[in-house]
Chain A
């Protein structure tokens, strides 16, 4: 791997995004609008908004980065630029690292806006440090990028790529503890929920929500999310082949 090639790739991805202001606006505005909606949907029960809002701060970056990355890499595969890049002296890690870096940067801005709005605009009541919320959001974005990269290898069209969103994200969303505490689920489902990285992301958010200090559970949750993101990135790298049939 080569740091200069990785940053050049990240800059290129960001430049592509800059030519698409509508996508940028959607990326940044949609999470804020959803939080706003949620705040007034639970107008009568601010405690529900508190727990769901915090979880959503971690889930938004995962979903948006998943979608953005899977479509972007799929385009790279179908436009022939991937073949060209892999015929050039570019390591697979440079390409994947570049994507992770670029979308990670977008995720930071997205999460910062959403977190700021939730905390200071909508009165989300967080006991821990807001910086920790941001940290988890960023890790979730990396996880989403990794998952998106991975599934793009199995999609041959953008239509298929979008279909992977419900297939990969929805089960995690249902089991992550957002709708019902994981401990109250049917035991088999609860066991499955331990295998999904999103569960740990939401748990981490809850830790920050309810504890003033960094807890050991928070450490464990972030470590699991990081490990999952790295593992999926390595899997994603393995799906990039220099020689194709």
Chain B
């Protein structure tokens, strides 16, 4: 029996993640999009990107930049709207890493999260062919048509009816899967999506997407009773995955064995999110600890700018991020929580929701949802193990235990 593993992403621990916010524009206006300040004007120029690259590559041996590998990430808005710029920037990165004999030349990746709408365009396809061996591309598709179209709608002027984008994306899935076989997709769940979770995950499996990374938004959007509905959906999903043997070929990040145990404040005290270890750059050439700290992602707080391409990084502004640990930012309830393992947070949302100017106040809007997930997850593993036991395949399964791969932001 071959069991599908939740793959650990490429060079996950040893790679520096550098994100270019190339545009704040997008063809869609997804209802859950956390980007409160999207607009059509702020597009990155090549000169800004070049200055950032020079700054970064000049610091090959500095602590911030001495990781084994690098992921050059391009996001938006919709990054492929700026494919000409991206192509030029990627060429420059390759040239510079090569001519400087930079150690990253042996270990780099260009990474994209796209809405998939212009995936098949000539320019995007040309870019893919040129860089294929160094590319990760994730297309976001939320599940069934009705679920996807509930949130992922075309931008309109408000006069006509809402138009969903499912058909415009799904037609590109076969091409994407043929070019990047086995690559997963990322699904984000908000309150209104809960009734569609089970059908959506199954639909994605049907489309040939075998790895579904799914998570609840961290914002305070949950209504009373959502946790119960959520639990029901996950139980339904668990039953279907197990009864139809779907766990053999597929994975869903909602079910993970590393979930729902208490955590120790000394031995298991690491921070969840990589803000501060990553670096994001916007069109003005400002640096951020992560894109979620740029003004267009923040509701209530000022942007957390840690420097810019002219003056460099002010390391003082990074110190809070690089000293963060789990228990310091947690309430006593979270520190002592019986099911804390796998309960995630987003540092940007923590900052945005905090009472004061700090990244040390953990937002817990997700609390009941996590507890519901833990219950369903326990059910899943108990049921699956019993089945495997009866089939005599448990040992084989345990030997190939899937690793967890919670992609949370």
A and B: real partners?
no
**Which A residues lie at the B interface, using CB under 8 A?**
none
B contact residues vs A (CB 8 Å cutoff) = none
